Amino acid sequence: MGGTLQKTRWYILGLLVLVLSTVPLWGTEYVLLFCLLFCLYLAFSQMWNLLTGYSGLLALGQQSFIGISGYTVAVMCNYYAVNAWLAVLLGGIISVLLALFMSLFIFRMRGVYFGIGTWIFAETLMLWFSNWEYTKYGVGLFIKPPTPPSMTELYYAAFIVGVGSVVLVYLILRSKLGLGLMAMRDDDAVSETMGVEVFRSKLYCFLVAAFVTGIAAGVIYHFQVFIQPYRAFAIDWTVKLVFIVIIGGIGTIEGPILGAFIYILLSQTLSEYISLSMLILGVIAIIVILTAPKGIMGSLQEKMGFEILSPRRR
């Protein structure tokens, strides 16, 4: 690949980050909302991609971390008057602890069993929270931090989480851990004989994904202000992430960026018809799997050798 293309990649990326970082200065309220949701869904889907696209862990229970972190934020802010951002951090930490606890059960399962196991965990949490007096049963909680964050503060938090998630995945994939992850995704047994610590690598990934998902969830719940078990622990979260990553391109870093953009565009345009936008998203996802299994970015990479962020060393 030529040097000019190499440079162009960095110009594209730099421009994207520059545009995103200055939105509060020039954007309308709608654009700001759009970019905020884009950054947060980018973080969620980048983490799902790390688990499923790179580590071969089919995770259908990301809503466990979203819900538990959202509830941590709500409980900390409402009952203990904790600072809004400290509560977000605590949400991330609780997510990691939950992931550690979950790993005792679900790391004995493989493939689809792992997926459904994580999903059942989320459903169990949903039922627990909807029967728990402390969190006001299924009625839910309004999140009232001592000083509610402004929209600009929320946006920059989302921006840091979104861009941070991309950088984090890039760094992980360039590291020894990432190399091992991709080896074991392609062949579990062979990579283990070659010295990859399969269990530990998968666990690290699972914990990292739980942390970032938890942080992003804390920010999104500060934005939404209201949390309810049937929404917080709903499979709908993971459904969106699956579609975002599949459409954009599973196992590519750029895929979730494009996928998250398409999803936010669709859901915001049809915000009054949520079921219609999910319907369209489902149809697009099936068409993509049938015609271009590697997603839009994956197919582009294959045909044109066009990669913006490559985990490969050249």
Cβ 276 to other proteins, closest distance in Å?
7
Residues 264, 241: Cα–Cα separation, whole Å: 11
From the list 40-48, 84-92, 98-106, 264-272, the region that binds other proteins by CB under 8 A is 98-106
DSSP character string of 77-111: HHHH---HHHHHHHHHHHHHHHHHHHHHHHTT--H
Cβ 185 to other proteins, closest distance in Å?
11
Q: Is 189 in the site for other proteins (CB under 8 A)?
A: no
Q: Is 127 in the site for other proteins (CB under 8 A)?
A: yes
Which amino acid, one-letter code, is at 218?
Answer: G
Q: Is 124 in the site for other proteins (CB under 8 A)?
A: yes
Strand, coil or helix: 142: strand
Q: Is 123 in the site for other proteins (CB under 8 A)?
A: yes
Give Cβ neighbours of residue 274 (< 8 Å, ≥ 6 apart): 267
Q: Is 262 in the site for other proteins (CB under 8 A)?
A: no
Of 284, 293, 249, nearest in space to 265 by CA: 284
From the list 62-70, 166-174, 212-220, 234-242, the region that binds other proteins by CB under 8 A is 234-242
Identified binder of other proteins from the candidate list 16, 93, 239, 262, rule CB under 8 A: 239
Q: Is 177 in the site for other proteins (CB under 8 A)?
A: no
Q: Is 304 in the site for other proteins (CB under 8 A)?
A: no
Residues 56, 40: Cα–Cα separation, whole Å: 23
Residues 147, 217: Cα–Cα separation, whole Å: 19
DSSP element (H, E) containing 227: strand 226-227
Strand, coil or helix: 124: helix
Q: Considering CB under 8 A, how many residues would be counted as binding other proteins?
A: 40
Q: Is 80 in the site for other proteins (CB under 8 A)?
A: no
Closer residue to other proteins (CB): 91 or 251: 251
Phi-psi region of 249 (alpha: psi -120 to 50; beta: other; left: phi over 0): left
Q: Is 290 in the site for other proteins (CB under 8 A)?
A: yes
Q: Applying CB under 8 A, which residues contact other proteins?
A: 52, 58, 104-106, 108-113, 115-117, 119-121, 123-124, 127-128, 130-131, 235, 239, 242-243, 246, 275-276, 278-279, 281-283, 285-286, 289-290, 293
